[in-house]
Amino acid sequence: MKIFKIKLEIFIAVFVILTTDLVAHEYKIGNLKILHPYIIETPPGAVVAGGYMKIVNTSNQFDRLNAVVVKFAKSAKIHEMKMENDVMKMREVKDGLKIPAHGSVELKQGGYHIMFMNLIKSMTTGETYEGILFFEKSGNIKVLFSVEEVGFKLKDN
């Protein structure tokens, strides 16, 4: 019985480690860490979706996310949502998204995000989609956007 209990504990530990890696993925380019790029699932027939992640800059200089390119939507633009006179407004961030030196920016619902427009298909939980992030100083990096269920929130890192 004791051997079974040890095997079960090892199995649970391995399962937790493996599923944690699947849920949280990160990328590194230069002094930037890109934490868990994701998209929230969309209903059938949706033509837009939001892209989210956290970008951490360990450099002494700022960097800037200038563009995002994907094949699953006709366009991807960096947007900001904010309240103005009690009205929620969304606008494109024309000059790119500044990532401060020794700081971070989280792209999340209700704030900065990537707006994927004219989706080729609906986004379904569990799928992944490739994208390329273009940074002013650090260069370009290919990432996978995981499609997460409604209500998903990135945990603090």
How do the pLDDT tens digits run along the chain, 157 residues long?
556 445 434 444 344 444 434 456 999 999 999 999 999 999 999 999 999 999 999 999 999 999 999 999 999 999 998 888 888 888 999 999 999 999 999 999 999 999 999 999 999 999 999 999 999 999 999 999 999 999 888 876 5
Q: Please give the CATH topology (third level) of the domain spanning 27-148.
A: Immunoglobulin-like (2.60.40)
**C-alpha closest to that of 37 among 81, 68, 7:** 68
pTM equals 0.82
CA atoms within 13 A on the CB side of 8: 5
Q: Spell out the domain ranges in the chain.
A: 27-148
With beta carbons less than 8 A apart as the criterion, state whether 67 and 126 touch.
no
45 three-state secondary structure: coil
Q: Which residues neighbour 155 within 8 Å (Cβ) at sequence distance 6 or greater?
A: 24
Q: What is the DSSP-derived secondary structure letter of residue 12?
A: H
